[in-house]
Amino acid sequence: MKLMLTIELADRYVSMIEDSFTNLEVVMALDPDLQEKELNDSEIVVGFGDSFNPEIIKEGTSLRWIQSWAAGVDHYTRPEVIKKLIDNNIKLTSMSGIHGDIIAEHVMGMVIGFSRKLYKFYQQQQNSIWQRIQPDQLAGKTMAVIGLGSIGQEIASRAKAFKMKVVGVKRNTLDKVDMVDELYSAEELFKVLAVADYVVVIVPLTDDTIGMFGYDEFRAMKETAFFINVSRGQVVIEQELITALQEGCLAGAGLDVFNQEPLPEDSPLYKLDNVLLTPHVAGIFPDYNKEAIKKFLFNLRRYQEGKELINLVDYNSGY
Catalytic residues: 232, 261, 280
DSSP 188-225: GHHHHHTT-SEEEE-----TTTTT-B-HHHHHHS-TT-
d(CA 96, CA 310) in angstroms, rounded, equals: 9
Count how many Cα atoms sit within 13 Å of the Cα of residue 174 in the half-sphere of its side chain. 1
| Residue among 184, 111, 175, 176 nearest 146 (CA) | 184
Q: What is the dihedral of CA 144, 147, 151, 154, to 10 degrees?
A: 30
Strand (E) or helix (H) holding 46: strand 44-47
d(CA 82, CA 84) in angstroms, rounded, equals: 5
